[in-house]
Amino acid sequence: MNRLAQKYLRPSQIPTKACHGCGIGMIENWLLQAIDELGLKQDDVIFGTGIGCVGRQTFATWGGDNFGATHGRALPVATGLKLAQPDKKYLIVVGDGDAASIGTSHLIHAARRNLGVVVVCEDNMGYESTGGQFSPTTPAGYVTNSSPYGMVEPSFDPCDVVKAAGATFVAETTATQWHQTVKIVKKALQNDGFSFVHVRFPCNENFGAYALGTRDTLKNLEWIYEHTQGRKADGSDTDFVWETGIKHDASNSRPEFSKLLRDMNGRVQAGVEKRPPGSGGH
Amino acid sequence: MPALDLDVKGTLVAPWVDWAARHNKGRRLLEAGTYALTEGAIAAGCRVFAGYPITPATDIAEYMSKRLPQVGGYYVQCEDELAGMHACAGASLGGLKAMTATSGPGYTLMHDAYGWAITNEIPLVVVDAMRVGPISGITGAPGQGEFYVARYATHGGNFETIVVSPSSVQEAFWLTVDAFNLSERYRTPVTILTDQVVSDMWEDLFIPDEYDGLDFVVPRRHNLMMPFFPVGGADLDVPPNIIGRGTGVCVSAYTHTEEGYDIEEMEAQWAQTYRLVNKIRHHRDALTRYEVLGIEDAEVIAVAYGADARTVKTGVLEARREGIRAGFIRLITLWPFLDELFERDVPYVVCELNYDGQLVREVMRAAPDKRKVHFMGKSAELHTVAEVAAGLEGVARSGRVPELPYIWTEVR
C-alpha cells in the first residue's frame, strides 16, 4: 500500500473491485495527493459519492466519514449536510451518470447556490457498470452497447453547464494529466464555494472495447491524451479536441451558500424581538 | 334538528393527551393546519426544512421560511422533491432534525430518498397533504389515495414504515411533535399523512408558551461509535449516526455491514432486513394511537381517519340519536396497522376518500369476517353526516349500505 493510501484510506476497503486497468483508483490517489499537500486530515473531509462505477469503487475507501447517495443525489445530500456541518470540506466524487445525466439538475442548482463542495466528475464516457451504454458525455457517433450504429445524440460538456449556472471554480483534466489534476484539485479545495473538476478516464472493458476497439489500458489512455492535444501519434488531427486546464476561476468571489443562510439568520435574529412561539406566522 | 347526543364520550389513545394536560400554559390562536404542522415541528426541534412548494402543503414551506431563521434553522427551497428529501436526510445525518412537506405528486418523487433514509436509519419527518388524484387531480380537494403508498414508500421491500394521520388543527400540532419523537426513537423516516382539509382549515389552536421546556420532546442524540448499524437486532432508542464528527461512519444505498460497508452477501441482507422490519414490529405497542367511541356494545362500527373522520364521527352520533348502536374507530396510527382494534365480530363501515378502496382492504384483513366489512368510498369531498348515518342505518337494519349518489361500495 502506498503512503497516501495508508494515511487516508481504509485498508479493509482497498483495493476496490474495479476492473483491471480502471482509472478510478489512480485518480483517487491524485485526490489524496492534493489533500495531503494542503495539509488536510481525515476528519477535515467528508467523502460523498453516488452510483455506478465511480460510486461503487470509491465508496467507503476514504478513512473519514463517507456517504454513498442514491443515483444522482449526492449533491442534495451534501446540501443538507453542509448546513449541519459547514466547516468541513466536501469531496463529492461521482461519475458522468450522476453528474451529467440523472443528477444534472442538482449539479446546476448547487453551482447556482455556490454550495461549498468540490465535485470531481470522473467521466468514463458512458454507463460502464451496467455494461457500456452511452451517456450524455459519450462523444457523438461512437459505438456503445446501446448505440450499436453510433450515438446519434450530441454530447455536452458539463463544464459549460456549471459555468453558466454560476460555479466559482471550473476545470477539466484527464487521467493522462497527473500534475495538472493535482494542481487543479488543490485549487478547487481552496475555493469556499462550488468547484467542479471534470476528469476523463478510460473504461477498458466497455468504452475501450466497443467504442475504441481495444481493452489495452495504454492505448485507451493514449486515445484520451491525443484528444487533449488534437493530434494523433501519426501526426493527423483527431476528430475533436478537449481543452483541458482551468476554465473558470472566480474562487472566493461570492459567499458560500450555507454562509448566506447563516448571515441571514443573524440579521433576522438581530431584528426580531423576543416573541412567544406562534407569533411568527403572518 | 335536535341537538346531537354529545354525552357519548370517545376515548383518545395518544401521548398528547398527557402532554396537553401537563403543558396548559400558552396561547389560543385561530390558525391553519399548515401552521400547526409548522409550529409542531419547530417545537420538536426541527431546524431544517428542505422541499418544493406544492398545493396544499405550500403554506408549510412559507411558514418555515419565516420561522426557521428566527430559531437558527435553515429553509432550503429545492429544485425538486428528490432534492428536498435527500437534503433533509443530509441535514439529519449532519445532526439537525429535519422535515419536508409535500402532496401526492411530490411524495411519489420522494420514494428514492425515502428508501435511502429507511436503509440508513435516518430520522426525519415527511408531511403528505393528500389531494384527490391520480397525479395532479384537483389540487384543492381532499383525497386519501396514499394509504398504501405511504406504507410502501419505497421499492425493494424488507422494511416497515411508520405513518400517522391527524384529524384537526390542534392534533396536527401535537402529532407533529410525536412524529419527530418516533423518528428519533425508531431511527426511521415518519410520514404524517394528512389531507387538504386538515392542512387548509382554520381552527382553535393551543400553543405552549415555551418550546424549550417541553419535557416530552425526544432530543437528538448522536451515535459516536461502532456498531453504526446494529444489524440482526431490533433495539429501540439507538442514537442516530452523525456525519462530520470523525466517527468514520459510512452510509449508502447498498445492503450494509454494521460499519456501513457495502456487501453482497445473503447473511448481511438477512441481518439488515431483520433490523429494519423488527425494530418496528417488536415495538408496536409504542406506536398505538387511535380514537374510539362506543365500540364495546356497537352493532355496527364506522372506521375512518384524517379530516373525513370528523364528519364520520358526527354521522355515528347521528345514527345513535336515531337508535342505532353505532360505534366509531378513528385510526391515528395508520402503519403499522392496528389490527387489535378490529377484534369484534360486527359489521364495519369503512369510510375513506377514494373510490378504489384502500383502508377497507386492511380492515377486511384484520376483521374476523371480511364479508361484514362494508365500503363507503367517496372522492374529492368529505362524507356528509347524512350519508354516514344512512350507511350505518342500512348496514344495521338490512346488512348493506344503501345506494347513495357519489358513494362507491364495491371492493373487488
Query: What domains are defined for chain B?
Result: 11-208 (3.40.50.970), 291-398 (3.40.50.920)
What does the pLDDT look like over B84-139, one tens digit per residue?
999 999 999 999 999 999 999 999 999 999 999 999 999 999 999 999 999 999 99
ipTM of the complex as predicted: 0.96
In chain A, the percentage of residues whose pLDDT exceeds 70 is 96
Strand partners, B75: B49
Other CB atoms within a 10 A radius of the CB of residue B190 amount to 27
How close A43 comes to chain B (CA, Å)? Answer: 5
Report the distance separating Cα A223 and Cα A218, nearest Å: 9
- How is residue B324 written as a grid cell? 342505532
Chain B positions in Cβ-Cβ contact with residue A280 (cut-off 8 Å): 63, 66-67, 70
Arithmetic mean of pLDDT, B383-397: 98
Chain A positions in Cβ-Cβ contact with residue B205 (cut-off 8 Å): 278
- How is residue A122 written as a grid cell? 470522473
The low-confidence residues of chain A, meaning pLDDT below 50, are none
Report the distance separating Cα B188 and Cα B119, nearest Å: 8
**Residue B1 pLDDT grade (very low, low, confident, very high; cuts 50, 70, 90):** very low
What does the pLDDT look like over B81-91, one tens digit per residue?
999 999 999 99
pLDDT at residue B4 in the model: 47
| SS3 readout for A186-209 | HHHHCCCCCEEEEEECCCHHHHHH
Domains and CATH numbers, chain A: 3-271 (3.40.50.970)
The answer to whether the CB atoms of A76 and B90 lie below 8 A apart is yes
The answer to whether the CB atoms of B248 and A63 lie below 8 A apart is yes
Report the distance separating Cα B250 and Cα B261, nearest Å: 6
The answer to whether the CB atoms of A77 and B86 lie below 8 A apart is yes
Give the pairing of strands A66-68 and A89-95: unpaired
Report the distance separating Cα A64 and Cα A85, nearest Å: 14
For residue B232, the one-letter residue type is G
**Residue B2 pLDDT grade (very low, low, confident, very high; cuts 50, 70, 90):** very low
Chain A positions in Cβ-Cβ contact with residue B88 (cut-off 8 Å): 80
Report the distance separating Cα A100 and Cα A135, nearest Å: 8
Q: Rounded to the nearest 5 degrees, what angle is found at the Cα of B82, between the Cα atoms of B79 and B84?
A: 65
- Nearest residue to B129 (alpha-carbon basis) of B83, B176, B87: B176
Would an 8 Å CB–CB cutoff place B35 in contact with chain A?
Answer: yes
| pTM exceeds 0.90 for this model | yes
The answer to whether the CB atoms of B93 and A59 lie below 8 A apart is no
Chain A positions in Cβ-Cβ contact with residue B116 (cut-off 8 Å): 69-70, 73
Task: Select from A73, A88, A109 the Cβ nearest to the Cβ of B244.
Answer: A88
What does the pLDDT look like over B30-49, one tens digit per residue?
999 999 999 999 999 999 99
- How is residue A165 written as a grid cell? 449556472
How close A76 comes to chain B (CA, Å)? Answer: 5
Whole-number mean pLDDT of chain B? 97
Cβ contacts of B1 within 8 Å, gap of 6 or more: none
The answer to whether the CB atoms of A66 and B251 lie below 8 A apart is yes
Chain A positions in Cβ-Cβ contact with residue B29 (cut-off 8 Å): 278
The answer to whether the CB atoms of B112 and A80 lie below 8 A apart is no
Cβ contacts of B175 within 8 Å, gap of 6 or more: B14, B16, B40, B164, B166, B192, B289, B332
Task: Select from B48, B50, B69 the Cβ nearest to the Cβ of A265.
Answer: B69
- When scoring B82, B259, B263 by the number of chain A Cβ atoms within 10 A, the one with the most, hence best to mutate, is B82
Would an 8 Å CB–CB cutoff place B79 in contact with chain A?
Answer: yes
Whole-number mean pLDDT of chain A? 95
DSSP helix, strand, coil percent of chain B (3-state; round to 5): 35, 20, 40
- Nearest residue to A124 (alpha-carbon basis) of A142, A107, A109, A110: A142
The answer to whether the CB atoms of B91 and A261 lie below 8 A apart is no
Would an 8 Å CB–CB cutoff place B285 in contact with chain A?
Answer: no
